[in-house]
Chains A and B, each alone.
Chain A
Amino acid sequence: DAGITQSPRYKITETGRQVTLMCHQTWSHSYMFWYRQDLGHGLRLIYYSAAADITDKGEVPDGYVVSRSKTENFPLTLESATRSQTSVYFCASRAAGPYNEQFFGPGTRLTVL
């Protein structure tokens, strides 16, 4: 009954390093999403995936890479972290169909020094 989990919950890294944030859901939802939350901006969509091996850009994809080899996992990679990527990152998932809500994970607070 885990639902949707994210790891790590907190991460401090340095500029230029590669960082991967993990997201795992146990519902077999088709759709998965990555958002970043910044004060004054609400949540902004980074990438989303409609199914395994299908991903698409959101509003703020630059500097991020995603993959989805398995339905239940949707990792987000910052290939070369920058200070502007300091944020709280939320993963979400949703069942297929137009009348389903998104469920959110607990978030990862990332600090880039």
Chain B
Amino acid sequence: AQSVSQHNHHVILSEAASLELGCNYSYGGTVNLFWYVQYPGQHLQLLLKYFSGDPLVKGIKGFEAEFIKSKFSFNLRKPSVQWSDTAEYFCAVQYGNKLVFGAGTILRVKS
């Protein structure tokens, strides 16, 4: 079965620290990749997406992700986090018509 793994369930960082959230998926074929963010009490919003081309993708709010096909990975990064980045982050992989989500990573940024 297709699956998406997020390595960290909870991450606590201080403001200005760098962030990297891991995401691996199980399928070796062509996939579309996404990172979504869910701020407390809100619905999911798209941070960034990868369909093809440059494997380094830049998204909103200073986030970026790198697609490494050989490792089936799509890790999310941000050089310097802010308190307002406190949220839950979901990696998602599109297999055909379906989007499969990872379990999510809760990020708490201490001010």
Contacts and interface: CB of A to CB of B under 8 A. Distances in A.
26 contacts: A31-B97, A33-B99, A40-B103, A41-B103, A42-B6, A42-B90, A42-B102, A42-B104, A43-B44, A43-B92, A44-B101, A45-B98, A48-B97, A58-B98, A59-B100, A90-B43, A98-B32, A99-B32, A99-B51, A101-B34, A102-B99, A104-B43, A104-B45, A106-B42, A106-B43, A107-B43
Interface in A19-53: 31, 33, 35, 40-45, 48, 50
Contacts of A43: 44, 90, 92, 101
Instruction: Give the interface SS of chain B, mostly helix, strand, loop or mixed.
Output: strand
A44 B1 CA distance: 13
Nearest to B9: A40
Interface residues of B, number: 24
Interface residues on A, range: 20 to 34
Nearest to B103: A42
B46 interface: yes
Contacts of B102: 42
A78 B44 CA distance: 23
B108 interface: no
Interface in B74-111: 90, 92, 94, 97-104
